[in-house]
Amino acid sequence: MEGDELTALLAGRPWNTAFDGKAIVLEPNGTLPTATLPVGMELTLLSPTLEHLRRLKPVWEREVRAHGLQPGVPADTPVGTPEGLESFGPPEAPDIVTLAASPFQTDRSKPNASSIAVLARYHGHSVILSADAYPDVLLASVQQLARASGTERLTVSAFKVPHHGSRANVHRELLAHVTTQNYLFSSNGSRTKHPERESVARVLAEASNPRLLFNYDTDYTRIWDDRALQDQHGYQTVIADGDNGLRVHLEAE
């Protein structure tokens, strides 16, 4: 599991010094903890909640074993990028209006609920790094930050869309409380066929003239690189070469 794989990378390093070595979690009173890195980047925690960490604890060992790892034993080598993307020929053009209006069923995964999501601020730029966090937890934190700035929507330079663009994590109400031009989708689609069409359609329904930025060229991202769709719904796409990644230049807010 990614948590234990990360443990291997962090072995021997200081643990959560910005949080006094304790779990990274939202305060019970609703305060969003903030930490400043030595380089000056400010991180504001958006997820997880203490209750979600408590729910995960009884099932953590089972989840770790399900991914072929031993609880408490760091993985020797982090799992690499899965291979073998399936291709089923040219996909049918998506019906954005219908997809955006599809019923929402939220993520119920206990491990996903423990995801550490942050708002990163640096030299006038800000990015929501949402991991696999629950949409309702993200929404509550985003609303709190927006209220603190006297607005209904939180303005950021970019939004890394939750859970690689899973339809169970990308909720229209969450999107409606964020203002940005840049929506980042991080997935090669090999395991779960992310990003899912409903998620991308919801972004297009809530955002104004957005840029969809994909770090892999796959059937699940290429479908959005359609000039007719872009002209009809007012958006742009940027699709990276998966071998070289994606570099995004952001404008200050």
Task: For residues 131 and 129, give the distance between their C-alpha atoms in angstroms, rounded to a whole number.
Answer: 6
Task: For residues 23 and 159, give the distance between their C-alpha atoms in angstroms, rounded to a whole number.
Answer: 25
Concatenated DSSP letters of 44-56: EEEE--HHHHHHH
The pLDDT value given to residue 55: 85
Question: For residue 41, how far is the Cα from the chain centroid?
Answer: 19
Candidate from 60-74, 91-105, 231-245 with smallest mean pLDDT: 60-74
- Please tell me the pTM assigned to this model: 0.83
- Looking at the predicted structure, is the pLDDT value of residue 182 above 80? yes
Largest separation between any pair of C-alpha atoms in the chain: 53
